[in-house]
Chain A
Amino acid sequence: MSMKISTSDFKERVDKGIQDSFMRGAVVGAQERMGTRRLDATIELGNWEEWRKHGEEIRKHVLDHLDYYLEQLSENVTKRGGHVFFAQTAEQANEYIKGVIKEKNAKKVVKAKSMVTEEIHLNQCLEDAGCEVIETDLGEYILQVDDHDPPSHIVVPALHKNKEQIRDVFSEKLGYKKTEKPEELAWHAREMLRQEYLTADVGITGCNFAVAETGSISLVTNEGNADLVTSLPKTQITVMGMERLVPTFDEMEVLVSLLTRSAVGQKLTSYITVLTGPREEHDVDGPEDFHLVIVDNGRSSILGGEFQSILQCIRCAACINVCPVYRHVGGHSYGSIYSGPIGAVLSPLLGGYDNYKELPYASTLCGACTEVCPVKIPLHELLHKHRQTIVEKEGKAPISEKLAMKAFGLGAASPSLYNLGSKFAPTAMLPFTSGDKISKGIGPLKAWTEIRELPAPNKERFRDWFKNRDKGGEPS
């Protein structure tokens, strides 16, 4: 529920997405660029399929032994003087973080990009408590300045905006006076943010991977903002989804290799930051106080079930970058901070079918997502599993569809019924047929013929042709 970003219904959101030509242009451009770069990076690395398999094994192993590694992580963080809090719900996580902020009497928080904090709506909660929260990732900063516009992509949160729109946002909200050149925009944000780092009381980050063996957390970024967030403020709070860990640095290396290539087509990002506990005596910087908040928020109910493999996700967004549906409707259409194929699988699990029942159907099951996933999550199969769950367990499918599918099932299962049905189809469709096509169908065909012509059923079915041919071409 908490990752919800819209109150309008699915169809309205999709309509709005389809009509947003700026967003669509930006998404198509980004998909083309990132798709090519991803492919080139995988070819350059070589043996990509073996890397994927290895990545999958690591993620599966961690999920199968999650209790063990969480305990190890927690022990090692504590040993290094950090505090660990395990939050079962979003509310518990927010309350704990609010508690730390109050205890420190903190007035200002700087944040590095984190999807899990978006998921639990942490910013809202801290702002309500009177704390100023500043996002320091450029994309997140743009969205925050633009009246908290929600992210539309898990790696490139402001993907839906083009540079002209960003210039307008900066002009209106920050008094920006320069052009839409990305360098000038970035420089302006940099100047604004530098002051914030220096005056912030608390730094909050997400976590790409925590290393159980050492109690470290890692952050993969291209802007270096996470380094400032974790080294300048006196207190650091890191929030992580409970599945985001690896046993040792060896496994982290494999997953980072898969992540950076799959996400942005880079061998390595500009910064990969690893932090272990609070500052020690000989350290020149780093926080005096370190808190690790491990968030469940519905994940433990996915564990051990038929959707467990979705927890293998390393949030690279490769699936989003190839998705032909996302391409046309954009991230906000999903109504969740998790969009694209990963979002269509994860959102109903974390946020419930009542909020996200359409998402599993917003896919042609084309399998492009499954093909690129660096940890081999069978995304399109999970989307199908959702559909099965909605029909068979949740009973949430429309009655008309249920009846139609029952009838289809019966007809398709029985050769004689199928034979009869297909034989009389041309006659039944005759009122709607003009020449060799149907342009105005009714019932379920209406949605088809509103967009495309439907060929009229053959007067002589293939099976009739075949039979007649056996008889030497005599009509039956």
Chain B
Amino acid sequence: MKVTLFATCLVDMFQSNVGIATVELLEHLGCEIDFPTAQVCCGQPSYNSGYVKESKEAMKTMINTFSHAEYIVSPSGSCVAMFHEYKHIFKDDPVWGPKAKELASKSYELTQFIVDVLKIEDVGARFKGKVTYHTSCHMTRLLGVKKAPMVLLSNVRDLEFTELPGKEQCCGFGGTFSVKMAQISEQMVDEKVAHVEETGADYLIGADAGCLMNIGGRIERNLKPIKVLHIAEILNSR
């Protein structure tokens, strides 16, 4: 199966290890990976800040870049949710509206793709350690992907899973919110880190680079002995 990878700008620039794990994992599951180099950012930072007009060009670039794809897969629920948002943004546009709809219809978050499209619940991974999982807001509420990451994690050998208290609560990232409303964001991320600590887990897992950069950055600043990993890295461990 040919999969076109939407790596996301955060992964491309800051977390290439997540991109690499995604590629290796999907290849292991029998997919052939295509990476269109014309891909840019999905436009979410400026769009969410209210700059809709300014964001549309980036969106059009993305629609064109992925028009050839059969399946678009991304290791970020939030960015895929943004791809799905395009169809609402361009709904009155006779040219881009139908294209945006098509883009959304073939875009999947990584774990969603593995469980719902590849119909695989056990990727054959092995990971030794006590982990907890933060459910990212956009992935669960906007994209509606709740079960897939849980199903996949439950089948990882040697993995000890512990539930994160208040897992559905936002970590305080919110894109530009994290810098625009820094004082509030700090309180939110501190509560999240405290919850992670409460679990006694050695690893915090998530499926969105943005949330993980936020929580991970705070953990690192406060020198907490907790490692932060993307779910692709866990599922790619053997």
Q: Which of B19, B55, B141, B188 makes the CB contact (< 8 A) with A328?
A: B188
B54 contact from A368, A409, A445, Cβ within 8 A: A409
Query: Could you tell me the dominant secondary structure of chain B's interface residues?
Result: helix
- Residues of chain B within 8 A (CB-CB) of A362 are 181, 184
Partner of A391, one of B50, B170, B184: B50
Chain B residues with CB under 8 A of A461: 12-13, 16
Contact call B14/A458, Cβ cutoff below 8 A: yes
A325's nearest neighbour on chain B, judged by CB, is B184
A462–B53 Cα gap in the complex (Å)?
Answer: 29
Encode B205-229 as 1/0 by CB contact (under 8 A) with A: 0000000011011101100000000
Q: Given A388-B50, A409-B55, A409-B58: A452 and B16 within 8 A (CB)?
A: no
Tell me the nearest residue of chain A to B187, going by C-beta.
A328
Q: B179 contacts the other chain (Cβ, under 8 Å)? A: yes
Interface assignment of A370: CB less than 8 Å from any CB of chain B? yes
Is A430 located at the chain interface by the 8 A CB criterion? no
B182 at the interface (CB under 8 A from A): yes
A412 proximity list for chain B (CB < 8 A): 9, 40-41, 43, 46, 55, 57-58, 61
> Does residue A450 face the partner (Cβ distance < 8 Å to B)?
yes
Is B162 on the interface with A (CB-CB < 8 A)? no
**Stretch from B31-39, B92-100, B124-132, B152-160 forming part of the interface with A:** B31-39
| A467 adjacent to chain B (CB < 8 Å) | yes
Q: Closest CB-CB distance, A98 to chain B, in whole Å? A: 40
- Chain A interfacial residues counted at CB < 8 A: 64
Q: How far is the CB of B87 from chain A (nearest CB, A)?
A: 14
Interfacial residues, chain B to chain A (CB-CB below 8 A): 7, 9, 11-16, 18-20, 23, 35, 37-41, 43, 45-46, 48-55, 57-58, 60-61, 65, 137-138, 141-142, 168-170, 172-175, 177-189, 191, 213-214, 216-218, 220-221
A401–B46 alpha-carbon span in the complex (Å)? 10
In-complex Cβ contact of B12 among A325, A422, A447 (8 A)? A422
Q: Is there contact, CB below 8 Å, between B58 and A363?
A: no
A366 touches B141 (CB 8 A): yes
Q: Of residues A14, A412, A413, A447, which shows the largest number of chain B Cβ atoms within 10 Å of its Cβ?
A: A412
Is A25 an interface position by the 8 A CB rule?
no
Q: How far is the CB of B46 from chain A (nearest CB, A)?
A: 5
Q: Which of A400-417 contact B (CB under 8 A)?
A: 401-402, 405-406, 408-415
Partner of B137, one of A361, A367, A408, A409: A367
Please, which residues of chain A bring their CB within 8 A of the CB of B19?
462, 465-466
Interface check A107, CB cutoff 8 A: no
Q: Are A365 and B48 in contact (CB under 8 A)?
A: yes
Query: Complex: how many Å from CA A371 to CA B138?
Result: 12
Complex Cα gap A386–B187 (Å): 24
* A387 & B50 in contact (Cβ 8 Å cutoff): yes
By a CB distance below 8 angstroms, the chain B residues around A324 are 169-170, 172, 188
Report the Cα distance A407→B183, complex, angstroms: 26
Q: Contact check, A364 vs B14: say whether CB atoms are below 8 A apart.
A: no
* A395 CA to B46 CA, complexed, in Å: 15
C-alpha gap A445/B168 in the complex (Å): 27
Q: Mark A367-402, 1 if CB is under 8 A from B, else 0.
A: 110110000000000001011111110000100011
Residues of B within 8 A of A422 (CB): 9, 12-13
**Is A390 a contact partner of B137 (Cβ separation < 8 A)?**
no
Known: A391-B51, A453-B216. 18 other contacts (CB 8 A): A11-B183, A14-B184, A364-B173, A364-B175, A365-B177, A384-B48, A388-B50, A392-B52, A409-B57, A412-B58, A413-B60, A415-B65, A418-B41, A447-B180, A451-B186, A452-B221, A458-B13, A461-B16
List the A side residues contacting B169 at CB < 8 Å. Answer: 324, 368
- Indicate which residue in A370, A384, A405, A457 contacts B141 across the interface (CB closer than 8 Å): A370
Whether B138 pairs with A367 at a CB distance below 8 angstroms is yes
CB-based contact B185/A368 at 8 Å: no
Shortest distance between the CB of A10 and any CB in chain B (Å):
10
Asked whether A388 lies within 8 Å of B16 as measured between CB atoms, the reply is: no
CB–CB B46/A408 < 8 A: yes
- Asked if A18 is an interface residue, CB under 8 A from chain B, the answer is yes
Tell me if B221 and A453 are in contact (CB < 8 A): yes
Q: Which residue, B18, B37, B45, B184, has most C-beta atoms of chain A within 10 A?
A: B184
Q: How far is the CA of A453 from the CA of B14 in the complex (A)?
A: 12
- A473 interface residue per 8 A CB criterion: no
10 A-B pairs with the lowest CB-CB distances in the bound complex, closest first:
A364-B174, A452-B217, A387-B50, A413-B57, A409-B54, A462-B19, A366-B137, A412-B58, A366-B170, A447-B179
